[in-house]
Amino acid sequence: MNRLAYSCFAVAIAQCCGLGCGLAILHVPESDGGDLGDGTTGSSTETGTGAGTTGGDGMGSPDSGTPVDAGHHPDAGPPRDGGTPRDAGSSRGGGSANDAGFDAGSPTHSGGSVDRFGVLEIYPTVSGGREWSVPDLVSQLDSQWDPETDDITQVSMGIFHTKGSSGQIRLNITSPEGVAWWRNVEMTGYYRETGKTSGSSEEPHWELFARGERHNNDPALGKDINGGHQAPAGTPTWPGYPFPDSSRVVAACLGTAYHGNIYTTGRVHFEKEISHTEGYSSVQRDESYVSGFQDPKNRWFGYKFVVYNTTAGGVHLELWLDSQADGTWVLVGQTDDTGGWKAGDSYMNGCAKSPYGYATDQIMDWASPWVTFRADSIAIDFKWLSVREIHPPG
């Protein structure tokens, strides 16, 4: 990757980040060149032209030279359930939206830090905490990287393509033996849509989710959970865990999750899933539309989902968006689960019974072995996926 001069790093807070305090903007100032592509030899000015077939992967249309979709909002319509627009913030003054030029080794001067890709970290990694990032080559699989789709191909160094299976993409980060389970996490990814797919009834969207395991309804035994890898001693996890190896486990009760969703129309919201799938909440939290967000067809955008436990005993969720892939991160949604956020079906796949004993508004404050990067009804390119165990504020 072409390393770029990176003079400084500034953090500007438009308003406070606490619940109800409005939007926060974390901004990376103009560098002296480069792009958010793979930084090999080609470039793109993000004026609608893509990277050349022999050059680096820029922000435009991949290897096509065709204009990006500059304004189409499929199925846009008015915000659902009274959602209101969010202001995604403007791109950096001067330069194009393709000039971010992150350098992972560059210093910062506002206490912030960046990951190995040079992407801003909203919250610091907890001391000694677990970290994972996607490898640079599709052949570099590891014991944590467990995609449920086998069609992932290499676009260029560090950039991958998938359309999933039957319109579903599920990229899981699991927990091998002896590795800490995920609890308070910041998940990050950069994506571009390359086309719509069929086979799924879901509206085209991305979502990141945490605090659970595989989401299915198949029968399972206790020894099957997380591939037989037990949680490290002292890990707070599902009620009733650990389950005897030979016991029958209701897998749906382990398909717990908090979800952070963004749709190609710019709609964002949070979902809660106490069981798979009867335990989905009937109410989606903090639903709105991000003002000015365009269908990311053939253009990159960045997206973060943050989950952490609060000192008051609840769970806090945040969605951050780098809508132009220029390093300007904006808080576009947040909510707190403090109780009362209920499942739509009180039976919850039988998970109200022992040994789980979930309440219909169960606060899922536990650690779990999986986090998942998901997409539905779209083919995508992706890069710079990462997960970190963070130190919550307060």
Domain residues of the chain, as ranges? 125-389
pLDDT of residue 343: 98
- At 27 the pLDDT is 52
What are the Cα distances from residue 103, in Å, to 157, 284, 340?
Answer: 16, 37, 44
Q: Which residues 6+ apart lie within 8 Å of 89 measured at CB?
A: 14, 23, 25, 27, 323, 328, 330
Fold of 125-389: Jelly Rolls (2.60.120)
Nearest to 212 by CA among 376, 367, 389: 367
pLDDT in the model for residue 394: 81
Burial code (b: 16+ CB inside 10 Å, e: under 16) for 121-146 equals bbbbbbeeebebbbebebeeeeebbb
- pLDDT value of position 24: 63
Q: Could you say which residues of the chain have pLDDT below 50?
A: 1-22, 28-111
DSSP of 24-90? -EE-PPP-SS--SS--SS----SSS----TTS---SSSTTT-PPP--S--TT--SPGGG-EEEE--P
* Residue 292, pLDDT score: 93
Question: 46-56 burial, b for 16+ CB within 10 Å, e for fewer?
Answer: bebbbbbeebb
Residue 160, phi then psi, degrees to nearest 5? -130, 160
State the pLDDT at residue 147: 94
